[in-house]
Amino acid sequence: MRTQDPNIRIKNFNEVALGLTEEEAVSEAKRCLKCKKALCVGGCPVEIDIPSFIEHIAKGEFAKALDKIREKNSLPAVCGRVCPQEDQCEKACVLSNKKIPIGIGDLERFAADWGMGRQTRDHRPKTVDRKINEKVAVIGSGPAGLTCAGDLARKGYDVTILESLHKPGGVLIYGIPEFRLPKNIVGIDVDFVKNLGVKIETNYLVGKTKTIDELKEDGYKAFFIAIGAGLPYFLGVDGENLNGIYSANEFLTRTNLMKSYLFPEYDTPIRVGERVAVIGAGNVAMDSARSALRLGAKDVYIIYRRTEEEMPARIDEIRRAKEEGIRFELLTNPTKFLGNADGWVNEVELLKNKLGEPDSSGRRRPVPIKGSEFRMKIDTVICAIGQGSNPLLPATLAKLKLNDDGNIIADERLMTSINGVFAGGDIVTGAATVIEAMGAGKKAAGSIDQYLRG
C-alpha cells in the first residue's frame, strides 16, 4: 500500500497509509484462489466470509463486498487499518506458505473506505423472531462493547452503551493516533453501530454515575462489561515521579482525544522536549514515539529490554517507525531517572541485557549484564510498558471474581461469577488486540441472547 513520504509525514498527523485504488484492489482480489476450505476464515476471530467478499471485489462489486463484511463485522474501516492480519487471517491464508498471502486487511479497508458517504444495505433486523424487549447494558464503547452491542441490536434487543469518556470508541479514539487511525473513520464505524439501533450514553462512569445494581433497578436484564485495560503500569525505579515523565496513556490521550497537536485551537497543551525516551516496544510504544516526533522532538529512542525479534508491536509499525527516524536502544533497561534542580528529568541510567532462557510468554528472558550501566541525556520520558485493569467498577460488585492481575474471570460463555453479568475484551484477557476484543464481543452477544431466552 502506498504511504506518505516519511520526510513529509513526520511533520503532520495525516494518515500514513493511503489505501488501495480500485484497480489495485481488483488486481489483488484476483490473486485469491477461492479455496473450498478457506483457511483464512478460521484465522478471523469474527469469522468474516473472506473468500466471498474478496470475490465481490474481484468482480468490481464493491457494495456487495462491504455488505458481506458487515454481516459479521461492524467495524471494517477500523479492522482494515489496525488488525494484526499478519498473525490472523493472512497468516492462515494458503498463499502465505508459497508466495505472498492475499492482502486481506488492505482489501477490507478498501471496501470500507469505498462505502464512505455511499448508501449501502440496511443491516437492522427486518423481522425479530419474537418480541424481544429486554434491555441490555454494555459498559464501555471500545471494540468489544461496540461489537457486542451491534450484534445484540441485530438480534432485536434494546441496547444501551454506557461510556465514561465524552466520545465513544475506547482505545480506537483515545489511544491509537490519528496518523494510523483517523478519528472520522472511527466515527463512521460507530455511526454504523448506532444505526443498528444502539443508544450510546457518554460521560457515564459505571460504578460512580450508577452501579450495576442500580442499573438493574432501571430494568436492565443483562450486562456486558467491556471496560478494557486502561490503567498504566510504571517501572517502579528511582526518579519516576520527576516532571517530564508521562505514562503512554496520558501522553496519547492528551494527543489524540484532547487533540493537543492542534493546541491552541484545542485547549489541552502537551510538552515534548528534544530528546525523548519511550520505554517499551509494543504498539503503544511505537504510537508514542511517532507522536512525539510529530510534536517536534528531534531524537526519539525506543528503549527495549529484549531484541527486535521479541518486540510485540506490529511489523509494519516497527518498519514505519524506523523509516521515520526513530532510534532503537535494544537489550537495554532503565534503572533510574535523574533530574535538574527544578525537578525536571534530564538523564536516564540504563543497564545492558543479554538474552537468557524463554520465560512464561515464550520469549527469551532479558538477563542484566553487571557493571554495564550507562547514561543518556533526555528531557522527556514516555512509559509504555503495559496496562492493567481499572479496579473502580469491579470494586462495586462484591461477588465479582477477579484473577491475580485484577482481570475479570469469565467462563467459556463469557459469563462472570454473577448471573447475567458477562465480560470480555481486555478486561478479561489483559491488554490484547482489537480483533480479539471484537471476537469476545460477538461471543458475549450470542451468550446474552441464549441467557435472555432462558
Binding site for ligand SF4 (CB under 6 A): 32-35, 38-40, 50-51, 54, 93-95, 102, 104
Minimum CB separation of residue 441 from ligand SF4 in Å reads 24
Among ligand FAD, ligand SF4, none, what binds residue 207 when CB lies within 5 to 8 Å by partner kind?
ligand FAD
Q: Which of residues 307-346 bind ligand FAD (CB under 6 A)?
A: 314
SS3 260: helix
Write down the residue that cell numbers 509494543 correspond to. Answer: 282
393 sits near ligand FAD (criterion: CB under 6 A): yes
Dist. CA 81–CA 77, nearest whole Å: 7
- Using CB under 6 A as the binding rule, whether residue 103 contacts ligand FAD is answered as no
Three-class secondary structure of residue 147 per DSSP: helix
**Region from 56-64, 104-112, 371-379, 431-439 binding ligand FAD, contact rule CB under 6 A:** 431-439
Restricting to residues 143-172, which ones interact with ligand FAD according to CB under 6 A? 143-145, 162-165, 170-171
Applying CB under 6 A, does 439 fall inside the site for ligand FAD? no
Cα 131 from chain centre: 35
CB of 57 to ligand SF4, least distance (A): 11
Distance CA 280, CA 221 (A): 42
Minimum distance from residue 150 beta carbon to ligand FAD (Å): 13
Rounded to whole angstroms, the Cα distance separating 449 from 424 reads: 15
CA angle 447, 441, 248 (to 5 degrees): 150
Under rule CB under 6 A, residue 270 binds ligand FAD: no
Q: Which is nearer to ligand SF4, 25 or 289 (CB)?
A: 25
Looking at the Cβ atoms of 380 and 433, the one nearer to ligand FAD is 433
- Cβ contacts of 254 within 8 Å, gap of 6 or more: 260, 268, 270
Q: Could you tell which of ligand FAD, ligand SF4, none binds residue 95, using a CB distance below 5 to 8 A set by kind?
A: ligand SF4
Residue 83 makes contact with ligand FAD by CB under 6 A: yes
Contact region with ligand FAD (CB under 6 A), list: 18-26, 67-75, 82-90, 333-341: 82-90
Residue 417, helix vs strand vs coil: coil
Alpha-carbon Rg for the chain, nearest whole angstrom, is: 23
Tell me the site size for ligand FAD, rule CB under 6 A. Answer: 42
> What does the block give as the cell for 236?
517502579
Task: Name the minimum Å distance from CB 35 to ligand SF4.
Answer: 3
- Alpha carbon 82 to its chain centroid, in Å, reads 7
- What is the sign of the dihedral through the CA atoms of 30, 33, 34 and 40? negative
DSSP, collapsed to helix, strand or coil, labels residue 232 as: strand
* CB-count exposure of residue 77 (10 Å: 0-12, 13-18, 19+): buried
84 near ligand FAD, rule: CB under 6 A: yes
Residue 422 to residues 41, 66, 203, 214, 230: CA-CA distances in angstroms? Answer: 26, 30, 22, 17, 19
39 binds, among ligand SF4, ligand FAD, none (CB under 5 to 8 A by kind): ligand SF4
Pick from ligand SF4, ligand FAD, none: which does 142 bind, CB < 5 to 8 A by kind?
ligand FAD
Q: Which grid coordinates are listed for 313?
A: 508491536
The residue among 435, 415, 437, 417 whose CA lies nearest residue 427 is 437
Q: Which one-letter amino acid corresponds to residue 239?
A: G
Under the binding rule (CB under 6 A), the answer on residue 226 touching ligand FAD is yes
Cβ proximity to ligand FAD, 351 vs 384, nearer residue: 384
**Nearer to ligand FAD (CB atom), residue 93 or residue 225:** 225
What is the CB-side half-sphere exposure of residue 151 using CA atoms within 13 A? 24
Q: Single out the residue of 46, 433, 448, 449 in contact with ligand FAD (rule: CB under 6 A).
A: 433
- Give which of ligand SF4, ligand FAD, none residue 314 binds (C-beta under 5 to 8 Å, depending on kind): ligand FAD
Binding test (CB under 6 A) with ligand FAD, winner from 15, 178, 189, 287: 287
Spell out the SS3 assignment of 316-333. Answer: HHHHHHHHCCCEEECCEE
Question: Which of ligand SF4, ligand FAD, none interacts with 330 (beta carbon under 5 to 8 A by kind)?
Answer: none
Question: Given the complex with ligand SF4, which of 39 and 205 has the nearer CB atom?
Answer: 39
Q: Could you tell me which stretch among 18-26, 184-192, 265-273, 427-435 binds ligand FAD (CB under 6 A)?
A: 427-435
* One-letter-per-residue 3-state SS of 372-396: CCEEEECCEEEECCCEECCCCCHHH
Binding site for ligand FAD (CB under 6 A): 82-84, 139-145, 162-165, 170-171, 175-176, 204-207, 226-228, 230, 252, 283-284, 287, 314, 390, 392-393, 425-426, 431-435, 437
